Amino acid sequence: MEMASVSSNPRTVEEIFKDFSGRRHGIIRALTYDVDDFYTLCDPEKENLCLYGHPNENWEVTLPAEEVPPELPEPALGINFARDGMNRKDWLSLVAVHSDSWLLSVAFYLGARFNSNERKRLFTMINDLPTVFEVVTERKHVKNKSGSDSGNKSKISTKRTSDGQIKANSKPVEEGYGDEEDEHSETLCGSCGGNYNADEFWIGCDICERWFHGKCVKITPAKAENIKQYKCPSCSVKKGR
């Protein structure tokens, strides 16, 4: 199997991060773009199946390695058994969470001989990427395009003034916890792809419902106060009169 012999040589932080990124990319593809194929392969009638991400950005649903203990930590066993007993989106989110856990365990297994500074550097590099769970749930959020999140932190009201000028009304990002906080912790900036951070100002586009760091779209909290309906740069181009 492709997974073998990857840990036989000492590896640098950069090499292990590249390995992590490739595996992560493969798993994200399985849970998003190739999701119908992935769903079909996870047949509950089969034995304990695992989702593997490979360093070359491919993914594979297969049985766990036969040797015990395996050369690398194993992904969650038996993901196929829960497939038909759950809502599809919830099941994909569950697989995503287990995949995040596996990716971290493989990276730190490969870096077992690192000193504390190297481990810290590897974790910082990994932490700069959205988790698989964040990517998978964000896809749901974008696809559903439901209006249920309007009125949340930094969300802009949809009224326009009679002269058609865009004016504003946004709330500071720090407000509110609970469900709202959970929802936004999975949100990625539509411009840079970075994670939501409660310490930064965010603004939501009323047209495409994507969220942006204020700094990425050059909107400050003060400017946002004078915007009734915010259009992100790409929607402004598309809908420009």
pLDDT digits (tens, 9 = 90+) for 88-141: 999 999 999 999 999 999 999 999 999 999 999 999 999 999 999 999 998 444
Whether 60 contacts 30, CB under 8 Å:
no
pLDDT tens, 62-76?
A: 999 988 888 899 999
Which of 142, 167, 187 is the last residue in one of the domains?
Answer: 142
Residue where one domain finishes, among candidates 142, 161, 181: 142
Q: Residue 219 is part of a domain; what is its CATH number?
A: 3.30.40.10
Between 66-80, 141-155, 182-196, the lowest mean confidence (pLDDT) is in 141-155
Range among 1-15, 65-79, 170-184 with highest mean pLDDT value: 65-79
pLDDT at 109: 94
Q: Is residue 2 part of a domain?
A: no
Over the chain, what is the mean pLDDT? 78
Mean pLDDT of 224-238: 81
Domain membership of residue 174 as a residue range: 148-241
Q: Are 125 and 22 contained in the same domain?
A: yes
pLDDT computed for residue 35 by the predictor: 95
Domains of the chain: total: 2
pLDDT score, position 184:
56
Cα gap 132→113, rounded to integer Å: 26
pLDDT of residue 203: 86
Q: Which of 123, 142, 161 is the last residue of a domain?
A: 142
